[in-house]
Structure 1
């Protein structure tokens, strides 16, 4: 697996304005530096952090050795996979940094139970390629249940650490797909973790952002690979809840809703493209000539999403409507292309360009509150000149397992991706914008996702996650010397230092 290169497979995720590619492979990271090295996340680029050294383990044994060396040196450890999380969870100033990207082997594949054991640094495309090649000519075949949308160069260990979700309309977060994992703890001991072995750690580590140890292997539950038909409609937001319920009752498995981001339009945030996917017989042909936008089309789309939002929505909706009825595999339809250099397309499209990036926030409201929430949000965005580039609605089932559960009930997930200019003033404005978005979600009995930033106020954290102080206590119980640290952890440790 060390030499496996990802397949160049087009996957059309609804986070479309980021999905295009100039290269088929995933990013390589520079290592070394006598005085340490500055690392940053790939999406927002707002987390530059100088770590003391970068270590790239290739096995659980290597991780044990690195942790024990850090113990001897009295040094804290930070951990990264694909480096896309924008909240500073991967990096800690002065830490020994574990880059898990070389932990990329498939260790076992149980065809009877549909479970694959992988090293935690493996990324989605490499895992899928292994499964395709290992089962070539077989029927039925196993494949993944869900993954994040918008990018593929994301690690399985990172998916567990953030307790991610995908486009499923009737799924819980990824904790539902985890059978077990191996954890190297703060002493350098290797623990087997599952719902029956170290069950408290199972609940804490999944969604625990790397604070309890290093996940080195994961036993991931698979599902049988299916063929799906895409059904596309442009609908008013008011119709989304009822139509979503109907689609779920009719057996649809995946879907999301990309809404209009043009603040000058009378239906700003109120109209969108609803694309859902239903199973079809396995003998249904997949036509290789099906509609695709192509790399140039995605580049044009991301430029228009910044410079002419009305044209961007028309281009996107017109294109997606032409794909209605097309057939996809249940795994490849979840794949995406992501260009780490998306700023080049933005710069080319803007008459006046200011250096910046996109910043995501994700909030949750009960399904029957989504229309009211979006109307309030539209008014707020107009009043405060919020530069929304794209937005999506997805669905999630209640997570009744993880300790720091963000899906504490069935929710509609609303993703807002804002343009942030990299000046002190604009970053401060973005922080205020995100805090207001969280306030609106909380007012509608909702919550928000901790992964994308650390800009929430203390009162917001406590309302969404009343268990957060206990989470920090348990972190210190399992890791009394605070061996595993990050800028994310240090921020919240300071926030909750006083009662």
Structure 2
């Protein structure tokens, strides 16, 4: 039967509307990402000579001098002995820096000497014992690229590879390796130069107290020189992802991750858009496959700038937050079982989320919550996060097993670490609000017998810090035992001692 003119017009309008919807669904994300790119074209900030900052971009501090250590071991050791003697004679404090990704002045002693350890990055693999001998200034990226050609990989490390190994030991970082304690568990031993220039070996059997203090000791006990790290085989892994309700996260984590011996990595990501705020979480995990892993050099690289723009496009944008969630979840569904090598997964640079706007900065928090309290903690987060005008960019969930090594340990039982990333404007008002928010988040953490991570902004008072770390007073007393003249110092120590 022939269509009437009205029917034909109706069908035409339906096609027109459908075409418009399709065009908009494609054009809007493209325009949003293009706008994000344009908005970040601001002049780069530079640090004046005689000053230093850290990843917070809020700790610009005048220092006596910054010293790059020598690359060769004997030359470097002699250089450090002379510098420590000079510092003692001039009554100067000494701080130790790598990639400076801490955010509370942990690598900065005001008007003191800052040691840049990055040049000291020698490496040698003991393949028989699976031990990597490495200079403390090497980055994880350096180590991963070195090990990749030998079929090996890092056992435990944090999520980005452009941090220094010595720096990561000093903050006792943790990663998203399944059923893994913090980095401390993979450290066999290290050599340490004390304030008097003496070099000692530290391990679980040799100078064990100093070993425990230096790991997570924020450079307050000496200079880490050479490190012996456990390594593992590089393998091929397949990616999987499921979307859950937060109340089901622990049970599904047990089923899909812990009960599966093939899983090596896992993490969760909470939905942070106003729509379904903290009501959905993805559980992402990587399962070992029998295929041979690709070498890093031959692996295809994704468009890193596009990934960065998708992330940066979520700043101060509800549309951007929804777009990022939808894109990530769509990709998770249409590319199931995608293959990666272990080293590919570990070798990601923080430039993937880099903020190029000098008017704002990205700040991290992390809270460690006992497994049984995770659901309650997420429930109590909602009103606190909704009440702040600080822009929340991300919450990642990572499993952390108990730490038996570090003195200032934060994982004293099985916990989930919730890593928050916020975008903060560089204003006094936003700094004050961040301080208020940090304390509110720690209050609920303490309510559930949790702890928090110390390498970030110094917004927690001395007394409340000791509620999370009751061993802090003993830690600072032992600091004076090993460094009685308090030569090694930084803003963290000056604030909390």
Q: TM-score, normalised to structure 2's length?
A: 0.85
Q: Flag structure 1 segments of 5+ consecutive residues without an equivalent.
A: 1-16, 22-28, 136-140, 348-353, 494-499
Find out whether 1:128 has 2:125 as its counterpart: no
The residue correspondences of 1:183-202 to structure 2 (distance < 5 A) are 183-202=192-211
The question of whether the paired residues in 1 share the 8 Å contact of 2:308 and 2:354 is answered with no
Q: How far has the Cα of 1:478 moved from its partner?
A: 0.6
CA–CA separation in structure 1 for the residues paired with 2:53 and 2:244 = 39
Contact 2:182 2:403 in 1 (8 A): yes
Contact 1:82 1:158 in 2 (8 A): yes
Contact residue 359 and residue 418 of structure 1 kept, 8 A: yes
The reply on whether 1:40 has 2:57 as its aligned counterpart is no
Give 1:457 shift. Answer: 2.3
* 3-state SS in 2 of match to 1:297: helix
Q: As a proportion of its length, which structure holds more helix?
A: 2
- Displacement after TM superposition at 1:50 (Å): 1.1
C-alpha displacement at 1:425, in angstroms? Answer: 1.1
Q: Which has the higher contact order (CA 8 A, sep 6+)?
A: 1
2:222 counterpart (206, 210, 213): 213
1:270, distance to aligned residue in structure 2 (A): 2.3
Q: Please give the secondary structure, in 2, of the residue aligned with 1:339.
A: helix
CA contact (8 A) 1:255 1:394 kept: yes
Q: Does 1:259 align with 2:276?
A: no
Aligned length: 445
Is the contact made by 2:308 and 2:352 (CA closer than 8 Å) also made in structure 1?
A: no
Cα 1:322/1:340, change in 2 over 3 Å:
closer
- Which residue in 1 is equivalent to 2:312? 302
Q: Deviations over 1:12-50 (max 9, x none)?
A: xxxxx9xxx9xxxxxxx99994xxx111113x2111111
Taking the aligned partners of 2:58 and 2:48, their CA distance within structure 1 comes to: 21
Structure 1 residue 341 displacement after superposition:
9.1
Q: Does residue 222 of the first structure (1) align with residue 231 of the second (2)?
A: yes
Q: How does 1:264-283 map to 2 (within 5 A)?
A: 264-265=274-275, 267-283=276-292
Contact 1:146 1:334 in 2 (8 A): no
1:282-309 alpha-carbon deviations (Å, 9 max, x no partner): 4478998989454223223322343232
- Structure 1's 184 and 131: CA in aligned 2 closer, same or farther, altered over 3 A? same
Q: Separation in 1 of the partners of 2:353 and 2:240?
A: 32
Q: Is the 8 A contact 2:136 2:224 kept in 1?
A: yes
Q: Is residue 125 of structure 2 the alignment partner of residue 109 of structure 1?
A: yes
**Take 2:108 and 2:415, find their aligned partners in 1: how far apart are those partners?**
30
1:496 aligns to what? none
1:206: how far off?
A: 0.2
Cα separation, 2, equivalents of 1:443 and 1:341 = 32
With 163-172 and 456-465 compared, the bigger mean Cα shift is at: 456-465
The alignment partner of 1:101 has SS state of coil
Q: How does 1:83-162 map to 2 (within 5 A)?
A: 83-106=100-123, 108-133=124-149, 135=150, 141-149=151-159, 151-162=160-171
What aligned pairs does 1:324-339 form with structure 2 within 5 A after superposition? 324-339=336-351
**Rg (Cα) greater in structure:** 2
Match of 2:11 in 1: none
| Structure 2 gap segments, 5+ residues each | 1-32, 38-44, 71-75
Query: In structure 2, which of residues 315, 322, 331 is the aligned counterpart of residue 319 of structure 1?
Result: 331
Q: Which moved more, 1:190-199 or 1:322-331?
A: 322-331
For 2:342 and 2:113, locate their aligned partners in 1 and report how far apart those are by CA, in whole Å. 39
Residue 386 of structure 1: CA displacement? 4.1
Q: 1:376 to 1:282 in 2, by over 3 A?
A: same
Q: 1:222 is paired with a residue of what secondary structure? A: strand
2:102 aligns to what SS in structure 1? coil
Q: For residues 332 and 347 of structure 2, what CA distance do their matches in structure 1 show? A: 16
**Which deviates more, 379-388 or 428-437?**
379-388
What do residues 176-213 of structure 1 show as CA deviations (whole Å, max 9, x unaligned)? 00010010001111111111111100000000000000
Q: Is the 8 A contact 2:355 2:362 kept in 1?
A: no
SS at match of 2:106: coil
* Match of residue 57, structure 1, among 60, 69, 88: 69
How many Å apart are 1:275 and its aligned residue?
Answer: 0.9
Does structure 1 retain, via aligned residues, the 8 Å contact 2:293–2:341? no
Change (3 A) 1:190 1:283: closer
Change (3 A) 1:199 1:31: farther
